[in-house]
Amino acid sequence: MSWFAFFLCFFAWFGIAPLMTVVRNELHLTKAQVGNTIIASVAITVLARLVIGLLCDHVGPRLTYSWLLILGAIPVMGIGLAHSYMTFLIFRLAIGAIGASFVITQYHTSVMFAPNVVGSANAITAGWGNLGGGVTQLAMPLVFAAFVAIGFGPHGSWRASMFVAGLVCFITGVAYRFMTQDTPMGNFKELRSRGEMPEAKNALSGFAQVCRDKRVWMLFVIYAACFGIELTIDNIAALYFTDYFHMGLAAAGITASLFGLMNLFARATGGIIGDRMGRFAGLRGRVMWLFAVIFIEGILLMSFSRLTVLGPAIVAMVAFSLFVQMGCGATYAVVPFINRKSVGSVSGIVGAGGNAGAVAAGFLFKGAMAWPTGLLILGALVTASSFFALGVRFTSQDELAVGAELAGQRAEPTGGLEVAV
């Protein structure tokens, strides 16, 4: 349920991206206005992820996810009512809130799985969720074509397509409420009533403690350099291949979908290797793997930006996407070990870094600068950002605590709960 809910959120979040050629023509959007909508789609998620992370620690992932899906479905369906640049921008901004679903997925997985596999579990659930970003590039043009075929016309078809995406999110939100539970031991409300979990007010003090940990902010930057780039490419890929390689709507959508479809295994690979590095070299091994992946990602992005022939460009994009998504998985193979009592808060802040990176990157694509030049600059920034990973350090006590948990002994709680080993 967790990865599928995230999949649908990602699908709805970027459902409009492969249809932007049609929207741009109907609403007469300028390049700057298209850039503003890209920024808006990820800007609100920065704040939403911070709030959602705290809510996970406060009321649990089950209720948080249910309400996010139900309320988030409203602007997804409502964007079909936009008939001007300003109304489209407002709806695009509101839709971005469902991007906070990632934090809940990572929190829910972190409290369900033991330390030796938590990186793999986080990477698989998030990777299959992020897969929605690739599927939407492939599926939404087909849904659009289906509505055109039954007589809706181009202007009505993109609106109807987004209504369908929002409706599925709403239904999933209701299902999440009844088909999941917060932890292996039960829901937060039940655990607190039995005295097996700290009261909700402790979540606020935990959030303050997390904010004072410099490692959290280093991972904030690292996640900006991988997931922030992924969000940016999800938003611009179809338009990039349309404008710079002169492809049609369907062909550009299929090509752009290759970037997101790598999430089927790439993010999982990043988390699985992170767990293996943890077994051989401890928490430091996880960090060194993270550094290597982000560094290579930056090099590959710069290479992709220089290519002008379609075939090599597609190959380079796929190679680059593998390391982008492995970087995301490798990041959340480290996150659960930063503060075992406030996993939601750490996940929220680091997750917000991804969107902050996408917001910053968005400014490169709204002005007069050519998009290949913008991608080159992003690649250089990613390469430089990789060195922040080397500043994420753990003490010998941290290593011993993980070892104790794996031995089945009583160790530091996760979100106020013992991890099931």
Residue labelled with tokens 């280093």? 218
CA distance 201 to 49: 19
Helix boundaries (H) for 150-213: 153-179, 188-193, 202-211
Alpha-carbon gap, residue 209 to 13, rounded angstroms: 31
223 closest CA partner among 343, 380, 328, 349? 328
As a 3-state breakdown, the chain gives helix, strand, coil percent values, each rounded to 5, of 80, 0, 15
Q: How distant, in Å, are the alpha carbons of 66, 206, 250, 342 from that of 57?
A: 15, 9, 42, 7
Query: Is the model's pTM score more than 0.85?
Result: no
Q: Provide the residue type at 26 as one letter.
A: E
Amino acid at 297: E
Where do the domains of the chain lie? 2-184+200-406
- What is the distance between the alpha carbons of residues 411 and 405, in angstroms, rounded to a whole number? 5
CA angle 259, 32, 166 (to 5 degrees): 55
Question: What pLDDT, on the 0 to 100 scale, is given for residue 419?
Answer: 38
pLDDT of residue 220: 95
Rg over CA atoms, the chain: 21
The one-digit pLDDT tens for each residue of the chain (421 residues) are: 999 999 998 888 888 888 888 888 888 888 888 888 888 888 888 888 888 888 888 888 999 999 999 999 999 998 888 889 999 999 999 998 888 898 899 889 988 888 888 888 888 888 888 788 778 878 888 888 999 999 888 888 889 999 998 999 999 999 999 999 988 888 888 888 887 776 665 656 677 788 889 999 999 999 999 989 988 888 788 888 988 898 887 788 888 888 878 888 888 899 899 989 988 888 899 999 999 999 999 999 999 999 989 999 999 999 999 999 999 999 988 988 888 777 878 888 898 898 889 888 888 887 778 889 999 999 999 999 999 999 998 888 877 777 666 665 444 444 444 433 2
Q: If you write DSSP's letter for every residue of 285-298 in order, what string do you get?
A: HHHHHHHHHHHHHH
The three-state secondary structure class of 222 is helix
What is the secondary structure of 86-148 as a DSSP string?
HHHHHHHHHHGGGGGHHHHHHHHHHHHS-TTTHHHHHHHHHHHHHHHHHHHHHHHHHHHHHHH
Cα 241 from Cα 280, distance rounded (Å):
42
pLDDT at residue 219 in the model? 96
Q: Does domain 2-184+200-406 have CATH number 1.10.10.10?
A: no
